[in-house]
Every structure is written in structure tokens, then in C-alpha cells.
Amino acid sequence: MTDLDRPAYGPLYLDALAWAAQRQGRKAGPGQPVTIPYVAHLLEVSSLVWLGGGDEAQAIAGLLHDAIEDVVPTMSARAAVRTFGDEVMRIVEACTDADTHPKPPWRVRKEAYVAHLATMDRSVLLVSASDKLHNARAIVGDLRRYGPAVWERFNGGHDGSLWYYRALVNAFRRNPAHPVDLVDELDRAVTEMESLARDA
């Protein structure tokens, strides 16, 4: 096998993918059954990390980025993430906006996460921006298909969601370590989201 034939990832990435694939379905559009496996989002985030120049640890963190905040019990989630290495654990911890259940109020969590972006390093920002970019693109696609009913499935609703995504763009840009290309793409997606929200 030549270097060109050899994958850029190893068994650890495949193990992380197998663990992530056991997750629940992704939020669907209004009137649409939940048929989209949650792993589709995780694969998109991991792919954006790879395309953004990330390494294997960062790509694994992309697969596991929300495990600690979503998997119950949290202790089990932390133990699972820790098996993929200290760097993966560090990134996933930094991308977590809540590790208690029930979670704190939505606005409190999101304001804290936005403020936290100022202290994140490039590895964490790469994974975080990849996650937010895919989420923003998914919202834009659903707004085109379903219109303003989309906001009903988000805790922040119309106003809170628009505030959050624009706040993310601004916070990423204020951190000199942000991945410029990804944040530029996020800015474009959020601008389109705002435009569709105004026209609805």
C-alpha cells in the first residue's frame, strides 16, 4: 500500500464512528418523521473538520462533539469520550454547553457558550465552527422547504435562534485563532438565514 492509498485515519476513528452511529435521530422538519440518523450530522461535522485542515483527533472530536451534553448519564458519556484520548476529551469538553440534566435555561447556556468562544484555541474553534456551520446550513435548507414553522422545533424560537447564530459569527471573528474559511461560510449561511426569516 502506498501513502496515497493509505487512509488518513486509523482504527480509532472507525471506533468513534461506530460509537457515534448508535445515537438517536436528528430533529426533523415540521410534519416530517424523524428518519435522518443523527450520525448524518456527526459525519458532516467531522467532514468539515477534515476539509478545514483538521487532524484525526479533531475529526474524532467532530464525531463526538455533543456526546457529553446529550448522552445520559453524563458520567458514561465522559468515560466513552475519554477512551479516544486526552486531546479528543479536551476538545469535546470545550464544545459542551451543558453537562447537567436537566440542562440550564437555553438563553443562559447559549450566552455562556458565546462568551466561552473568546478563550477557545484553534482546535476547539475548528470543531465548534464545523458544528455550527452544518446546523446553520440545515436550518437554511429547512426554511426553504418548510418556511417559518421550522422555528417551532428550536428552544430559542425565531428571535433567539437568529440572535444566537449571529452572536456566534461575531464571537468567532473576535478570536484571532478562528478558522477563517469556515467562519466566512458560517457568516454566509447566517446571512441567508436572516434573509429567509425576514421574507417569511
Q: What is the mean pLDDT of residues 68-94?
A: 91
Residues of the domain holding 51: 11-199
Amino acid 1: pLDDT: 47
Q: What is the mean pLDDT of residues 48-69?
A: 95
- In CATH, what number is assigned to the domain containing residue 160? 1.10.3210.10
Q: List 25's β-bridge partners, or say none.
A: 37
Amino acid 26: pLDDT: 59
Residue 89 forms part of a structural domain: yes
Residue 2 forms part of a structural domain: no
Q: Is residue 145 pLDDT above 60, yes or no?
A: yes
Question: CB burial class (10 A; 0-12, 13-18, 19+) of residue 86?
Answer: exposed
Residue 181 forms part of a structural domain: yes
Q: Cα separation of 35 and 49, whole Å?
A: 25
Residue 5 forms part of a structural domain: no
Which residue, 98, 119, 134, 111, is CA-closest to 172?
119
Q: List 37's β-bridge partners, or say none.
A: 25
Residue 17 forms part of a structural domain: yes
Q: Is residue 72 pLDDT above 90, yes or no?
A: no
Contact at 8 Å (CB) between 127 and 58? yes
Residue 103 forms part of a structural domain: yes
Tell me which of 9 and 174 has the higher pLDDT: 174
Tell me which of 5 and 83 has the higher pLDDT: 83
Residue 4 forms part of a structural domain: no
What domain count does the chain have? 1
Contact at 8 Å (CB) between 100 and 147? no
Q: What is the mean pLDDT of residues 110-114?
A: 97
Amino acid 33: pLDDT: 52
Q: Predicted confidence band at 31 (pLDDT cuts at 50, 70, 90)?
A: low
Residue 3 forms part of a structural domain: no
Q: Is residue 174 pLDDT above 60, yes or no?
A: yes
Q: Cα separation of 35 and 90, whole Å?
A: 31
Q: Model's pTM, two decimal places?
A: 0.92
**Mean model confidence pLDDT for the chain:** 90
